[in-house]
Chain A
Amino acid sequence: MNAGFAESFHFLFTLSTIFYLFHLNILCMEGIIFDIKHYAIHDGPGIRQTIFLKGCPLSCWWCHNPESQKKEIESYTKVNKLDGKKFYKEETIGYRTTTSELMKIIEKDTLFYEESEGGVTFSGGEPLMQTDFLFDLARKTKMNYIHNALDTCGYVSQDDILRLIPYIDLWLYDLKIIDPELHERYTGVSNEIILKNLEFLDETGQDIILRFPVVPGITNTKSNIEQIILFAKTLRNTKRIDILPYHNISKSKYDRFQKKNRMENVKTEGLNAESIQNEFESNGFKVKIGG
């Protein structure tokens, strides 16, 4: 037996031990989340728990979780009112936790998932920004017979998607703007990878619900909706779409977290949700307003 073989054997042995320990939940990953929502009923089937992972590669103008964009833990001043008096507390947006700690919280609601055919939804931010953490978490929930949904913007590496496929039961996949330039203008990135990943997931037969945020003046334009329909029709297996009407929450969430809001001067125009629903339905899609 030569030395090289012994070395690589040793390496493989160590690697398999690490995997084995992962499997026993002895080792676990650490990540940053910024919220957990219980009785989440708009993020997939049944009663769910939604875990919000921090960090997003996009910076959409209309983002309704502006506190999710930065990957790092941030601080802000929380204001509590009591008897008309204001109390200020320094708090953080996001906190570090481990997949084992999260599992304890996730499993507390197991009976609700079982009874309602619900489960866990990973949202964000973009959950795939913390790939290893998400992978470990999704694997653990799967091992506990929990249904996993992933809410993704799709701007992630195909390798990561490939690795996750066995653990994700339902993909909630954002489809915002088809024109690459406009996409880049309003979200900060091109949509090339996003559309490619979507096609890939569709071809491999994953269960996908498209999510279309209806943002007046930005995504809610005649041409964009036409293009979305055209594109979506090319998908072989994906026939469901959720329409998410935009809501101007600028005065609350952006203020609360002391963030700059770019939607202030955007004019509200475009089709209403029902007309968009009709458009999609007449093209053979199953549509839900509000997710």
Chain B
Amino acid sequence: MNTRIQKLREQSLNAVNTISAERGLLITKFYQNELSGKESIPVERAKAFEYILNHKQICINDGELIVGERGPAPKATPTYPEICLHSLKDLEILNTRDKVSFKVDQKTRKSFEDLIIPFWKGRTQRERVFKAVKTEWIDAYEAGIFTEFQEQRAPGHTVAGKKIFRKGMLDLIKNAEEAEQKIDFLNDPDATEKSEELYAMKIVAQALINFAERHSIELEKLAEKNTDKKRKEELKRMAEICRRVPAHAPQTFHEALQHYWFIHLGVITELNPWDSFNPGRLDQHLFPFYASETEHKMLTREDAKELLESFWIKFNNHPSPPKVGVTAQESNTYTDFSLINLGGVNEQGEDATNEVTYLLLDVIEEMRILQPSSMVQVSKKNPDKLLKRAALITKTGFGQPSWFNTEAIIQELLRQGKDIEDARNGGASGCVETGAFGKESYILTGYFNLNKVFEVTLNNGKDPRTGKMIGIETGDPEEFENFQSLFEAFKKQLGHFVRIKLEGNNIIESLYEQEMPVPFLSLIIDDCIQNGKDYNAGGAKYNTSYVQGVGIGSLTDNLTALKYHVFDKKNITMTQMLDALENNFESHEELRHDLIYETPKYGNNDDYADEQAKEIFNAFFEAIDNKPTVRGGKFRINLLPTTSHVYFGSVINAMPDGRKAGEPLSEGISPVQGADRKGPTGVVLSASKLDHLKTGGTLLNQKFSPSFFNNPEGITKFIKLIRTYFRMDGHHIQFNVVNADTLRKAQKEPEKYNDLIVRVAGYSDYFNDLGEELQNEIIKRTEHGSL
């Protein structure tokens, strides 16, 4: 990393998150004063976008090579009052909360109080959503059965395809004009809507060109003032670049990055789509520019690295827009999830790795910042070299890159009906979500709390925390004669809540279609232009709505504990179990011990437990997969939690796996914390019993001690573990490389760390089984990185 990048990185890391009223004020002003009232909704939205870009402050930071900020300064984060409106109380929470706070100054507060809040109150999308959904939806939502992404953020979750690296905004305007000419006003009942949508698209494309032009002007001014000759030239060159892109297709490596960045800003300024947009298969997109320029000695590897690192900083300058209400208090870890994809196969199905892949891995290792996040797609066609290089970064323990199975992604997409080329050009975004990059609108609709549904089943339809009847009567659990009856009851309860969730989603998606078109995002994703139809209205080539199942590990252990102790071994009765749960295991410590230590658990390749995981998976899949959405797409499942397993756990009382009330649930498809005692092979064997190919992504987290990577042989064995999991169709795995802090926590709460293996000497052992002195020594060794 050179001095320039070091400085930029420092600036970005030290920049304080703030709430910026800029966008809120501009959009308020536009809807108050500038609006003629005679335009269609898409054209209104397009003109609002244009207004914001024409009036927002241009920010160019010292020394940077890629320019453009969403707010007036790095980490100055806008709000989107047309979607959800921050109250003064929300602003106060954001200002003062412990983790990831956003500072709110007096002037901003005043802007909200005087202008933004009075105008938008009663007119937000969030209010429309809560008004439109049924009471049963509200009840389930409040009980914590599911969350709903689109009550606070616009549908998004898509990734750029290769098109944008080959076309400029002027080309897209031309495409829109061609589509306009094809509209059949005589026979097509949607002709006017199409025409309005295409008109809107042209407005926003031009708006982005103008926005880049404003940067050119600013850059020229700065160049004039600057006394440093080198920087002066640089600024002039950057000004030229901003005149060329995004109007035209990029011609150079630098232009390609700047071009993408303007488009990125367009997407995240238009609305706040969930899970930030990203350039997807970046190594593939950039390679042609890199190859040609390095060949002609116009660019060195070092130049390219510096540009990429400057590009990386831009992502890190853009935290996720914070939420409102209860979630503002709870969700404090949200960065946006721009996940750069590396590796995998190209459109022809060949190994797609190239020099840029390895260059990007160097960048990831050097930058060590949260955003953008990164992943490697591992295909059977990729060489082990890719995995070995990436493993060296995993080893450093900052969670990147995560590991994905290209063949699984392709098969998942094919099962959903995508063309083979689109599947090969696809990847994973957000956390682990599968998508056909550049061609699909795949919306995450919300997390689904499988364990809460189970708790309601154990209470015959009631939520035990409130006593409220939120489910249906599926029978008194004390009357169940066998495990099958219990499971059938759960399935009925599941069907009930899934219906509520999907109905709600259709209502919400219709509201977005009508009220919140996104002509800019529609320019980017095929085939919205060709169809003359908005991204939020089903204009994309593929449309998918995902429901994210959470806590399959916990639920498996809960069901298994009942099957084992109540029905098979008959150690205790259901009545005794329910009594223990009601009392949060108080004066039932012996039972809790047996539930934790003497019960089969998911994650050990033990069929007794894993059978339940398969059954739960099938029930969830059957309830959701292939149901139609209002956008003409399908509902699908994936299994990932982000941080919702913590919130979902907080709304559930004690459970039969020995978990106490309020504690977090298992995450993704990982075993319950500490439940896996047969090493990583046991975990991946259990996890691979789920049918990953029927999902749009699963998340598996694996704890690993750094000592497993301490020599080339250890790294080879590590990558072979990944290869084997992927051979069994596993979708994703990521490694939480433990540090000294984790080990200290394990000393305090050993029951949560039963799975923690550390290397002692020429052998490894479970950390919990070591004496305290030895544990202390290992902590010391881990701290000093000498393992």
Contacts and interface: CB of A to CB of B under 8 A. Distances in A.
How many A residues are at the interface, by size bracket? 35 or more
Contacts of B589: 82-83, 85
Interface string A231-266: 000000000001011111101110110000000000
B774 A115 contact: no
Interface stretch (A105-113, A180-188, A194-202): A105-113
A11 interface: no
Nearest to B677: A38
Contact of A108 (B685, B762, B764): B685
Contacts of A81: 750-751
Interface in B664-679: 678-679
B771 A255 contact: yes
Interface string B707-737: 0100001101100110110011000000000
B682 interface: yes
B593 to A, nearest CB: 5
A82 B750 CA distance: 7
A251 B679 contact: no
Q: Which of A39, A42, A255 has the most CB of B within 10 A?
A: A39
Contacts of B644: none
Contact of A247 (B714, B717, B760): B760
Contacts of B95: none
B605 interface: yes
B679 A64 contact: no
A80 B597 contact: yes
A92 interface: no
B774 A111 contact: no
A41 interface: yes
B751 A116 contact: no
A248 B770 CA distance: 11
A252 B769 contact: yes
B771 A82 contact: no
Given A109-B681, A255-B771, A47 B761 contact: no
Given A116-B720, A252-B774, A38 B682 contact: yes
Interface string A76-99: 000011110101010000000000
A270 interface: no
Contact of B720 (A115, A252, A255): A115
Contact of A256 (B713, B727, B764, B769): B769
B717 A116 contact: yes
B596 interface: yes
B679 A38 contact: yes
Contacts of A116: 716-717, 720-721, 723-724
Contacts of B713: 41, 288
B680 interface: yes
A46 B717 contact: yes
B62 interface: no
Nearest to A43: B763
Interface residues of B, number: 37
Interface majority SS on B: helix, strand, loop or mixed?
helix
A132 B275 CA distance: 61
A82 B751 contact: yes
Contacts of A37: 679
Nearest to B768: A81
Contacts of B751: 80-83
B596 A247 contact: no
A108 B774 contact: no
Interface in A138-163: none
Contact of A115 (B682, B727, B761): B727
Contacts of B764: 41-42
B780 to A, nearest CB: 14
A247 B596 CA distance: 31
A290 interface: yes
Contacts of A42: 762-764
B772 interface: yes
A111 B727 contact: yes
Contacts of A85: 589
A291 interface: yes
B481 interface: no
A284 to B, nearest CB: 21
A228 B760 CA distance: 25
B188 interface: no
B721 A47 contact: yes
A115 B723 contact: yes
Contacts of A64: 761, 763
A112 B774 contact: no
Nearest to A245: B761
A152 to B, nearest CB: 16
Given A111-B727, A115-B727, A246 B761 contact: yes
18 contacts: A37-B679, A39-B679, A41-B717, A47-B681, A47-B717, A81-B751, A82-B589, A82-B593, A82-B596, A89-B597, A112-B681, A115-B723, A116-B723, A244-B761, A245-B762, A249-B760, A249-B774, A256-B771
Given A82-B597, A245-B761, A252-B769, 19 more contacts: A37-B679, A38-B680, A38-B681, A41-B713, A46-B720, A47-B681, A47-B721, A108-B605, A111-B727, A111-B728, A115-B723, A116-B720, A118-B717, A242-B762, A244-B762, A247-B774, A248-B774, A251-B773, A291-B762
Interface of B: 589-590, 592-593, 596-597, 605, 678-682, 685, 708, 713-714, 716-717, 720-721, 723-724, 727-728, 750-751, 760-764, 769-774
